[in-house]
């Protein structure tokens, strides 16, 4: 199998049964990954890998293909079952495995899937490590014996215990919350909120293999908004398919994205002396009003490119203790990846201790943003598209006059062109974004 670039922003994604997610290619990819972890494990001939998945029907095929490819080159595989991505990252370290794999396409539709790889430290692969895997696809690693396969029955319980301990064993009695599990990998562990004393009503927690993210969860919180208001809940909580992101809903039904949640956490951690170096790491998509709000309390904002692995890399490099994305990936403390469930527990703890309404706790005024996703047939270089590049140039010239900004790029996880414009003139950026959208649809739209 030859391909110039398999890895996107967050692992490998595609349509199961089509390249690169065919059984044969997955086995070859597994061999490439085996070469990497054996190198990291200093030539260990029989390293171990833990393997988790979300609720997509296609996970079974990918799981078996990965196991076949790994065991064939001497890697021992331990199945974790259905768990959030953050659980796989944690259990990779906790069980002292040499690597970890999560089968999930996160927030993507059920007919898509993906593979996320972790090092023995529970960290997502660096770009250099991804390149190593791609260069070693299909290469047979030396083995002393064929690998073994077994299941770890306590995976869910171990992760559950970690969540409670990591959040400081909070007592959430008296909080009435609605939790949308997106029919994904959080459908069981989302019950942790009830175990901490909250009156938690779970919705979209009955996966059938095809309903993950379908009109529910972090990308589609409309049902959660209705339920939270109807039940007079303190707030609503929504995860995506692999629960590495979270968005929430206040008592009035207003959606609070990662910007609002990270802002609330930053202020609380600052007061508690837990915000290392008084700095928060965010990405290019975070609203610039976020920076302004934190500057008022003496907190610095550092921006990196989109992707929670880049947020984590910056946090690790400088010893920061909080970072995340507008989309709801939030990394707290020493964790290595976005953990929607853990972030939600921290937010609920803050809500309970503050005694404030959720709307007040997460209140801040954003600068207007226009956000449009355009589905594309292929990701052609934007400079080669005359209509689109002209519309972008015109928008950027106007935004410069308005002291605004733009971020226009292809998604690293979907066949989508993401268009984001930001400035104080809401109507103007809406018009400019629509002009870029119209041009893109003509030239590369589905």
Strand partners, 14: 113
Residue 144 confidence (pLDDT): 82
Q: What residue ranges of the chain are covered by domains with CATH 3.30.310.50?
A: 369-443
Over the range 323-354, which residues count as b (16 or more CB within 10 Å of their CB) and which as e? bbbbbbbbbbeebbbbbbbbbbbbbbbbbbee
Residue 3 confidence (pLDDT): 45
Which H or E element spans position 396? helix 386-402
Q: Say yes or no to pLDDT of 141 above 80.
A: no
Q: Say yes or no to pLDDT of 268 above 60.
A: yes
CATH class of 158-361: alpha beta
Assign a CATH topology to domain 12-153. Alpha-D-Glucose-1,6-Bisphosphate; Chain A, domain 3 (3.40.120)
Residue 358 confidence (pLDDT): 98
For 67-116, the pLDDT digits (tens) are 999 999 999 999 999 999 999 999 999 999 999 999 999 999 999 999 99
The answer to whether residues 73 and 140 touch, using CB atoms and an 8 Å cutoff, is yes
Residue 2 confidence (pLDDT): 40
The answer to whether residues 231 and 177 touch, using CB atoms and an 8 Å cutoff, is no
Q: Say yes or no to pLDDT of 1 above 80.
A: no
Identify the band that residue 140 occupies on the pLDDT scale cut at 50, 70 and 90: confident
Q: At what angle do helices 59-72 and 23-40 cross, to 10 degrees?
A: 50
Residue 5 confidence (pLDDT): 81
Identify the band that residue 414 occupies on the pLDDT scale cut at 50, 70 and 90: confident
The phi and psi torsions of 432 (rounded to 5 degrees) equal -65, -40
CATH classification code of 369-443 = 3.30.310.50
Can you tell me the mean pLDDT for 326-350? 97
Distance of CA 59 to the CA centre of its chain: 18
The pTM of this model reads: 0.92
Residue 411 confidence (pLDDT): 87
For 341-357, the pLDDT digits (tens) are 999 999 999 999 999 99
Task: Provide the strand spans (E) within 55-132.
Answer: 76-82, 99-103, 113-118
Can you tell me the mean pLDDT for 254-258? 97
Report how far residue 219's alpha carbon sits from residue 313's, in angstroms, rounded to the nearest whole number: 25
Report how far residue 124's alpha carbon sits from residue 116's, in angstroms, rounded to the nearest whole number: 7
Residue 38, by phi and psi: left (phi above 0), alpha (psi -120 to 50) or beta?
alpha
Report how far residue 437's alpha carbon sits from residue 415's, in angstroms, rounded to the nearest whole number: 15
**Burial of 290 per CB tally in 10 Å (0-12, 13-18, 19+):** buried
Identify the band that residue 42 occupies on the pLDDT scale cut at 50, 70 and 90: confident
Q: What residue ranges of the chain are covered by domains with CATH 3.40.120.10?
A: 12-153, 158-361
| Alpha-carbon distances, residue 428 vs 394, 395, 396 (angstroms) | 12, 9, 12
Q: One of 106, 185, 321, 406 is an active-site residue; which one?
A: 106
- Is 106 tagged catalytic? yes
């Amino acid at each position: 199998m030859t391909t110039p670039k398999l890895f996107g922003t967050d692992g490998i994604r595609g349509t199961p049964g089509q390249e690169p997610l065919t059984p044969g290619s997955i086995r070859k990819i597994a061999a490439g990954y085996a070469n990497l972890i054996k190198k990291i494990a200093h030539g260990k001939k029989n390293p171990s890998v833990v393997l988790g998945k979300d609720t997509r029907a296609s996970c079974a095929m990918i799981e078996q293909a990965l196991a076949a490819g790994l065991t064939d080159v001497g890697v021992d595989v331990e199945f974790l079952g259905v768990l959030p991505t953050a659980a796989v990252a944690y259990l990779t370290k906790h069980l002292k495995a040499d690597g970890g794999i999560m089968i999930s396409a996160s927030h993507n539709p059920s007919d898509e899937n993906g593979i996320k790889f972790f090092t023995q430290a529970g960290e997502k692969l660096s770009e250099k490590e991804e390149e190593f895997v791609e260069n070693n696809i299909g290469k047979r690693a030396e083995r002393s014996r064929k690998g073994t396969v077994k299941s770890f029955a306590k995976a869910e319980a171990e992760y559950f215990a970690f969540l409670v301990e990591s959040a400081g064993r909070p007592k959430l009695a008296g909080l009435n919350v609605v939790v949308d599990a997106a029919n994904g990998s959080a459908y069981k562990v989302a019950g942790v909120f009830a175990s901490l004393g909250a009156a938690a009503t779970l919705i979209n927690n009955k996966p059938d293999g095809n309903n993950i993210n379908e009109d529910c969860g972090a990308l589609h919180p409309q049902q959660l908004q209705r339920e939270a208001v109807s039940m007079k809940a303190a707030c609503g909580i929504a995860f995506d398919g692999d629960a590495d992101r979270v968005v929430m809903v206040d008592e009035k039904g207003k959606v609070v994205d990662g910007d609002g949640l990270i802002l609330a956490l930053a202020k609380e951690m600052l007061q508690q002396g837990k915000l290392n170096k008084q700095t928060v790491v965010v990405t290019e998509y975070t609203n610039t009003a976020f920076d302004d709000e934190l500057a008022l309390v003496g907190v610095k904002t550092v921006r990196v490119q989109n992707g929670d692995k880049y947020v984590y890399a910056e946090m690790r490099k400088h010893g920061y203790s909080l970072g995340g994305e507008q989309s709801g990936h939030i990394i707290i403390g020493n964790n290595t990846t976005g953990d929607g469930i853990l972030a939600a527990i921290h937010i609920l703890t803050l809500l309970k201790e503050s005694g404030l309404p959720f709307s007040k706790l997460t209140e801040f005024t954003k600068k207007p943003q226009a956000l449009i996703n355009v589905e594309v047939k292929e990701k052609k270089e934007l400079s080669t598209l005359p209509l689109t590049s002209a519309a972008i140039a015109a928008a950027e010239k106007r935004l410069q006059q308005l002291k605004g900004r733009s971020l226009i790029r292809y998604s690293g996880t979907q066949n989508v062109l993401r268009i984001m414009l930001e400035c104080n003139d809401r109507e103007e950026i809406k018009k400019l974004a629509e002009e870029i959208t119209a041009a893109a649809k003509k030239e590369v739209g589905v």
